[in-house]
Amino acid sequence: MKKQIFVLLAILGLGIGRPAIADEGMWPLFLISQLQDSMQARGLKLTAEDIYAINKASMKDAVVRLMSKQNRMFCTGEIVSQQGLFLTNHHCGYGAIQELSSNEDNILQKGFWAKNQGEERPANFNIGLLAKVDDVTSMIVDSLPKGDDEAARSKAVNAAIKAATAKLKDALGDDKDMFVIEIVPFWAGNRFLAMYYQVFQDIRLVGTPPENIGKFGGETDNWMWPRHTCDISVFRIYADGTSNKPAKYSKENKPYTPKHYFPVNIQGPKDSSYAMILGYPGRTQRYTYSAGIKYYSDNERPKRVKVRRDILDIYEEYMHKDPKIKLMYADKYAGLSNYWKKFMGEADALNKLNIYERRKAEEEKFSAWVKANNKTQYAGVIGMYNDAYAKVSEIGLYSVYMQDGISNSQPMMIAMGLTQLEAQLKDKSKKEDAMKAAAEMAKDLDADFKEYYEPIEKKVLASVLMHLVEDLDNKRLPAVLISMADKYKRDYTAMAEAMWAKSVLVSKDKLAAFLKAPSLKTLQKDPIYQISSAYMNEVSAKMQPEMMALNAQLGKANRLFQAGMMEINQGKLFNPDANGTMRMTYGRVLPYNGKDATFYKEFTTSRGVVEKYTPGDIEFDAPVRLIDMMKKRDFGAYADKDGELHVCFLTDNDITGGNSGSPVINGNGELIGTAFDGNWEAIASDFAFEPQFQRTICVDVRYTLFIMDKFGGAGHLLNEMKIIR
């Protein structure tokens, strides 16, 4: 029953399709052969085929795609040994580390390093290795209906993708259950590619630094430079012991032998030296139409910030008081807070960088070209965009509040998972189905209430109710919600208290008793269920036709606009928006000027850790032994030639969410660091690339090895690696 129920307004913001400059771009692997000369001019000593090859091992085989047990991508990692050892960020492994922690053995807080493979602990996620990429555009496009009915086209695309995926999967024969195939649109649906991922399910935690090293600086330093965080965790891939193929967890499994792994270079990156990143950026909106920029900057982003901040304040109130509650809510807090700060920065930056004005000017040039060249096929594009975003402004926030509001209230999330049970209970012929469904839901109760503290959840419920009623047009809200809010005179604390007292969804015991003998009357009278299910119905059912028509209109505008811009700029290489597929970005190790009279060096050292260290502080505490080692300059082989322990460094690579944990690679194909964040001045990079500001924050691999070896006592892991000194 523990589900992520999101009703998403899929606005594929794809505005001006201008050709990207060489350093801009999260490039699909099938395009990088065309970038080889430019990359080599910057310092790459290898060929494009060394990065991505179809018929031989290449770097792409050492890049892992972190995926949930439902195979949803969330981060990146890099294999660093012949025994399947891989690095990713501490914040990427955070949920798994939390699940492996207990109040008696809190490895999230104190850290953990397995002394041998027998001590490694099963982690609750999968990883995918990209096996191949096929262009399947003809399989999708050739079956589409002719004409202008975009809704029919969209429906046909989905059906064609489903059929093509099944066909490709069947062609894998006996190995098909080991693969996930994703057919993904590029350039707003002008091209379709099939990504084949070999999925490994037996992943084990090898090591993690203490939280006050892996998360040093907390939210204060998040998205900021200078940075001093060792955002690292270490895992291992296990495979069937005889075939080296994916297998479910078993003590008989053996470490996976990869096709390629990254050598580790501890000579250190230098100013202006070549830097390349391979990884899985999630989503960018680099080509969002000007009216979309206004929607995000003035409306959508500020609303998300407000809702998330109020919930985070509730978490902090209790987490700061009790270490048990801090552990319980650690993963929830981390997930909410990261994008709270990102959304806040985006709202500000979208205005400061004048992105709306720049997009508007480019769109006017496009319109002039259409008119001057009598390009009638593109004549209605701008009108489609304007009409669509006018409607987005009316209804877009309702799905946003499901994602950032209702979905962050555990009782309301549970309620939305019970709608099918209600339908079964209504139909007397399906009583047996209802009982079976209830029994299945009961099996998930431990998971539903594992990260659950009633005083927190009751306040979160009140906060969510307040935002729904006060922030949204009440005419589109369920009558039961408005009626109840009026009954309690908009006192949302009192309203939540009353709902809590009458609900069976607020405790494990009450819900277990209900599921043992599910009653339609009990469910329909439950106030939390009434409001949650009614809101879900309003968004997913009543608004769905509007959303589908709106998405179809935007999809057509996006596709035509992109095609038009490609026609204007024939012969230019176009960089498609990130879409969760593997991408390559190349650039340099570089400092930058953040603002007037402020120059930021391209690296930080352990001096900054000592300077920021504040004993007992929730963000800037650190292990005393680490601080002592740094004060004594006990850096061993990991010191730079300047005698300092370099901690983090900057590159001008182009990345976004999903790239967390990506390998940072030098011109020889060797690992020099791990990407983990962006900088505040370029926080709106999902919408616009700003080369003078754009920086990626990376953990220096020497700091990673220092923490593993000298601090963590896990030097045996380095024996697996090929270290370039």
pLDDT of residue 306: 97
**702 located within any domain:** no
For residue 76, pLDDT over 50 is answered with yes
pLDDT mean over 433-457: 94
For residue 720, pLDDT over 90 is answered with yes
Residue 289 main-chain phi, psi, to 5 deg = -65, 155
Name which of 351, 291, 192, 159 is nearest 557 in CA terms: 291
Measured distance CA(182)–CA(254) in Å, rounded: 28
pLDDT of residue 10: 31
What digits encode the pLDDT tens for the residues 357-399? Answer: 999 998 999 999 999 999 999 999 999 999 999 999 999 999 9
**135 located within any domain:** no
Sign of CA pseudo-dihedral 390, 391, 397, 403:
negative
Structural contact between residues 105 and 98, judged by C-beta atoms closer than 8 angstroms: no
- CA dist list (Å): 661 to 74, 213, 281, 584: 10, 16, 11, 14
Least confident of 281-295, 601-615, 700-714: 281-295
Q: Is 491 exposed, middle or buried (0-12, 13-18, 19+ CB in 10 A)?
A: middle
Side chain identity at 171, as an amino acid letter?
A: A
For residue 592, pLDDT over 70 is answered with yes
Higher pLDDT, 68 or 555: 68
Among 50, 231, 652, 654, the one annotated catalytic: 231
pLDDT of residue 12: 29
pLDDT confidence tier of residue 541, bands split at 50, 70 and 90: confident
pLDDT of residue 6: 30
Among 50, 58, 91, 297, the one annotated catalytic: 91
**258 located within any domain:** no
What digits encode the pLDDT tens for the residues 417-429? Answer: 999 999 999 998 9
* Known active-site residue 91: yes
pLDDT of residue 559: 87
For residue 619, pLDDT over 80 is answered with yes
pLDDT confidence tier of residue 547, bands split at 50, 70 and 90: confident
For residue 147, pLDDT over 80 is answered with no
Measured distance CA(361)–CA(661) in Å, rounded: 37
Q: What is the DSSP letter of 621?
A: -
pLDDT mean over 210-215: 98
Measured distance CA(76)–CA(278) in Å, rounded: 9
Measured distance CA(95)–CA(85) in Å, rounded: 19
pLDDT of residue 100: 97
Domain coverage including residue 298? 290-545
What digits encode the pLDDT tens for the residues 597-610? Answer: 999 999 999 999 99
pLDDT confidence tier of residue 308, bands split at 50, 70 and 90: very high
What digits encode the pLDDT tens for the residues 238-248? Answer: 999 999 999 99
Least confident of 7-21, 155-169, 265-279, 622-636: 7-21
For residue 705, pLDDT over 60 is answered with yes
Measured distance CA(36)–CA(317) in Å, rounded: 53
What distance, in Å, lies between the first and last C-alpha atoms of the chain? 51
How many other CB atoms are found less than 10 A from the CB of residue 548?
A: 14
Domain count, the chain: 1
In this structure, the strands spanning 85-88 and 233-239 are: antiparallel
Structural contact between residues 467 and 307, judged by C-beta atoms closer than 8 angstroms: yes
**476 located within any domain:** yes
Least confident of 227-236, 488-497, 551-560: 551-560
* Known active-site residue 154: no
Q: Is 347 exposed, middle or buried (0-12, 13-18, 19+ CB in 10 A)?
A: buried
What digits encode the pLDDT tens for the residues 259-269? Answer: 999 999 999 99
What digits encode the pLDDT tens for the residues 22-51? Answer: 367 899 999 999 999 999 999 999 999 999
**112 located within any domain:** no
For residue 15, pLDDT over 90 is answered with no
**701 located within any domain:** no
Beta-carbon contacts of 224 under 8 Å, excluding residues fewer than 6 positions away, are 217, 679, 680
For residue 21, pLDDT over 60 is answered with no
Name the average pLDDT for the chain.
93
The rounded percent of the chain whose pLDDT value lies above 90 is 86
In 227-266, which positions are buried (b, 16+ CB within 10 angstroms) versus exposed (e)?
Answer: bbbbbbbbbbbbbbeeeeebbeeeeebbbbebebbbebbb
Among 660, 677, 686, 700, the one annotated catalytic: 660
pLDDT of residue 355: 93
* Known active-site residue 50: no
For residue 595, pLDDT over 50 is answered with yes
pLDDT confidence tier of residue 565, bands split at 50, 70 and 90: confident
pLDDT of residue 712: 98
Structural contact between residues 89 and 233, judged by C-beta atoms closer than 8 angstroms: yes
pLDDT of residue 148: 72
pLDDT mean over 620-642: 97
**450 located within any domain:** yes
DSSP letter for each residue of 650-701 = EE-----TT-TTPEEE-TTS-EEEEEEEE-GGGTTTTT---TTT--EEEEEH
pLDDT confidence tier of residue 8, bands split at 50, 70 and 90: very low
pLDDT of residue 16: 34
pLDDT of residue 23: 60
Residue 718 main-chain phi, psi, to 5 deg = -70, -25
DSSP letter for each residue of 97-139 = HHHT--SSS-HHHH-EE-SSGGG-EEES-EEEEEEEEEE-HHH
How many other CB atoms are found less than 10 A from the CB of residue 145?
A: 9
**63 located within any domain:** no
For residue 19, pLDDT over 70 is answered with no
pLDDT of residue 538: 92
> Tokens standing for 602?
């391209």
The rounded percent of the chain whose pLDDT value lies above 70 is 97
Residue 134 main-chain phi, psi, to 5 deg = -120, 140
